[in-house]
Chain A
Amino acid sequence: MNGPFDFTLSLADDALIAAQRLAEWTTRAPEMEEDIALANIALDQLGAARLLLSYAGELEGAGRDEDALAYLRDDREFRNVLLVELPNDDFAVTMAKLFFLAAYQLPLYTALAGCADERLAAIGAKARKESAYHLDHGALWVKRLGDGTEESHRRMQAAVDQVWPYTHELFVADPAAPVDPATLRPAFDEVVGPVLAEATLTQPGGAWAPAGGRAGVHTEHLAYLLAEMQVLHRAHPGAKW
Chain B
Amino acid sequence: MSERSEQAKQPGMTSHSPLWEVFVRARRGLSHTHVGSLHAPDAELALRNARDLYTRRQEGVSIWVVPAGAITASSPDEKDAFFDPAADKVYRHPTFYEVPDGVAHL
B24 on the interface (CB 8 Å rule)? no
Segment at the A interface, from B38-46, B61-69, B76-84, B92-100: B38-46
Cβ of B56 under 8 Å from chain A: yes
* Interchain CB contact under 8 A, B17 and A37: no
**Within residues 15 to 45 of chain B, which ones have a CB less than 8 A from any CB in chain A?**
17, 38-41, 44-45
Cα distance, A31 to B45, chains bound together (Å): 12
B48 with A31: CB separation less than 8 A: no
Residues of B in contact (CB 8 Å), total: 12
| B61 shortest CB reach to chain A, Å | 15
> Does any Cβ of B come within 8 Å of A137's Cβ?
yes
Give the interface size bracket for A toward B: under 10
Q: Which residues of B contact A89 (CB under 8 A)?
A: none
**A183 interface residue, CB < 8 Å from B?**
no
A146 to B48, CA, bound (A): 19
State how many angstroms separate the Cβ of B66 from the closest Cβ of chain A: 17
The winner among B17, B48, B52 for most chain A CB atoms within 10 A is B52
Q: Is the beta-carbon distance between B52 and A33 smaller than 8 angstroms?
A: yes
Closest to A33 in B: B49
Assess whether A31 is in contact with B52, with CB atoms less than 8 Å apart.
no
Expressed in whole angstroms, the Cα–Cα distance for A37 and B50 within the complex equals 10
Question: CB of A40 within 8 A of chain B?
Answer: yes
B52 contacts A37, C-beta separation under 8 Å: yes
A36 at interface, CB cutoff 8 A: yes
Complex contacts, B39 vs chain A, CB 8 Å: 31, 33
A33-B38 CB under 8 A given contacts A137-B48, A140-B48? yes
Interface of chain A residues 37 through 52 with chain B (CB within 8 A) = 37, 40
Say how far B41's CB is from chain A's closest CB, in angstroms: 8
B56 to chain A, nearest CB (A): 7
Q: Which residues of A contact B17 (CB under 8 A)?
A: 31
Closest to B44 in A: A140
With a CB–CB cut-off of 8 A, which chain A residues contact B44? Answer: 140
Which residues from chain A sit less than 8 Å from chain B, CB to CB?
31, 33, 36-37, 40, 136-137, 140, 144
Q: Which residues of B contact A (CB under 8 A)?
A: 17, 38-41, 44-45, 48-49, 52-53, 56
- Residue contacts A-B, CB under 8 angstroms, 25 given: A31-B17, A31-B39, A33-B38, A33-B39, A33-B40, A33-B45, A33-B49, A33-B52, A33-B53, A36-B49, A36-B52, A36-B53, A36-B56, A37-B48, A37-B49, A37-B52, A40-B52, A40-B56, A136-B48, A137-B48, A140-B44, A140-B45, A140-B48, A144-B41, A144-B45
